[in-house]
Structure 1
């Protein structure tokens, strides 16, 4: 497998990429194999997990656990990430195609995010893993999307009041294979202020 490093929302939508994946509108990720071309994060993740299921990333092999894993993955991708993005995404500078900034919309995204994360804190409880007794795609999706919030808005004060989420995240971040890809996750000390990052830039 050949990996191509990209930065989301920066210098995307190249002609070559769009020609391979016309429905993608230039959005990443994309996977081109000998017999398949795929876009969409969940589809690619499920395909790769099933290519070699030695890591049991879809659970213990039962239909029930696989369904639970996919449920968490879908929730994290559709609900958690989209809700968090309403808060942090308009605050990030340097995008090729920046999202629109509106102070009230960002504040609403923050309120929705905090409420959703409080529910997640209760849901995780004392569990080491979201499904079963080992790491699955559910844990990977959750931790990666939480990391985006931790980088921009989920600051030290928030982390102190959400020990279950942080325990789950830090367990993931400490996995050797994860460290090979992301040696160090950024944890912001103070949340990014709700101001337009493109004003006077």
Structure 2
């Protein structure tokens, strides 16, 4: 497998990739671009897959030509700062200094906005986009929830700031403005139209200002507001073909019939003299000593039946009447197989 011989950025036209690519183009940095999602059988892409098993984009590979050491980096915010910091510090480039933040507080503010846009803001936006494009099944409650979150971010975070200030950080355009505007452009292609733009003048004034800046103008050259919003289309569920009755019968083997297991006492056969059901009726409906017991001994046949006395071994457990009833009832339930012969 080949080895990377030149600093490389792996990415494509996804929003996270456009600003790192623009930084390289604008400042004429020595990086090659490779799209890891096209020509996947190429040596370059195979090497990317080996170096970055999570397949994230953008990703960066830098090379120290003096030592030959390679440096690997993922995550768009880290990559943008890795590209811009040497320009600001080592080359003293004024524009690079400005967009990453002149002071420590400015830098912290820029990073705050970048982190917010790259997490809280883009998650519901991407959720809506995926449903509109058909990547995910349309779920109205999820879609509406994402729209509500986006409205909250616009009304509570962006509008107050942009109504009072020209830019997101300080009095100059920064990386926060460029990155946010790139995500807004994607939103204008899916969830916001001309009507929305008319109702959010502060946000649109800021967006139009940023999109015309020479640094990002090539990214927005084909931008246009939507006249009407696209609607998410629910995916039609394909009904699985039902096999015909003949096929079902042919495919499904008949289940073997359960064999009824005979009770061991069935081998003794039916009693010729003593009928248990009749005995139960005699015992239940008559007085025990004068009627039921004489009937019992008259019909009892010792050649077919035997009489047993059972003593319970744990009488200390029988402190309450209901406990004895439960035990005796359970005992007779377990004898039912023999009684019902």
> TM-score band (shorter)?
0.7 to 0.9
Q: Which residue of 2 aligns with 1:179?
A: 217
* TM, length-normalised to structure 1: 0.83
1:77-105: CA deviations, max 9, x gaps? 11111122222222125xxxx34542321
Q: Deviations over 1:11-52 (max 9, x none)?
A: 839552322222xx2231111211422111111111112121
Written as runs of structure 1 = structure 2, the 5 A alignment for 1:43-82 is: 43-53=78-88, 54=93, 55=95, 56-60=98-102, 62-82=103-123
How many residue pairs are counted as aligned between the two chains? 192
Q: Kindly indicate whether residue 49 of structure 2 is the aligned counterpart of residue 12 of structure 1.
A: no
Equivalent of 1:41 in 69, 73, 76: 76
Partner in structure 2 of residue 111 of structure 1: 148
Deviation of 1:4 after TM superposition, in Å, equals 6.3
Q: Deviations over 1:139-176 (max 9, x none)?
A: 11111111110111111111011111111111111012
Corresponding residue number in structure 1 for 2:255:
none
Change over 3 Å in CA distance of 1:47–1:189 after alignment to 2: same
Looking at CA atoms only, which structure, 1 or 2, has the larger radius of gyration? 2
8 Å contact 1:88–1:106 — kept in the other structure? Answer: no
CA RMSD of aligned residues (A): 2.6
Shift of the 100–26 alpha-carbon distance from structure 1 to 2, 3 Å rule, reads: farther
> Whose relative contact order is higher, 1 or 2, with alpha carbons under 8 Å and at least 6 apart?
1
C-alpha separation between the residues in 2 aligned to 1:21 and 1:63? 32
Q: TM-score, normalised by structure 2?
A: 0.51
Q: Distance in 2 between matches of 1:11 and 1:46?
A: 22
SS in structure 2 of the partner of residue 31 of structure 1:
strand
Contact 2:8 2:61 (8 Å CA) reproduced: no
> 2:11·2:36 contact (CA, 8 Å) conserved in 1?
no
Aligned counterparts of 2:197 and 2:137: Cα–Cα separation in 1: 28
Distance 1:4 1:21, change over 3 A: closer
Partner of 1:86: 127
Q: Which residue is equivalent to 1:152?
A: 190
Q: Which residue of 1 aligns with 2:230?
A: 192
- Please give the alpha-carbon distance, in whole angstroms, between the structure 2 residues aligned to 1:142 and 1:170: 12
- Candidates 3, 6, 21, aligned match of 2:52: 21
- Other structure's SS at 1:69 match: helix
* Preserved contact between residue 83 and residue 113 of structure 1 (Cα < 8 Å): yes
Any unmatched runs of 5+ in structure 1?
none
Instruction: Report the Cα distance in structure 1 between the residues aligned to 2:224 and 2:55, rounded to whole angstroms.
Output: 27
SS in 1 for 2:167: coil
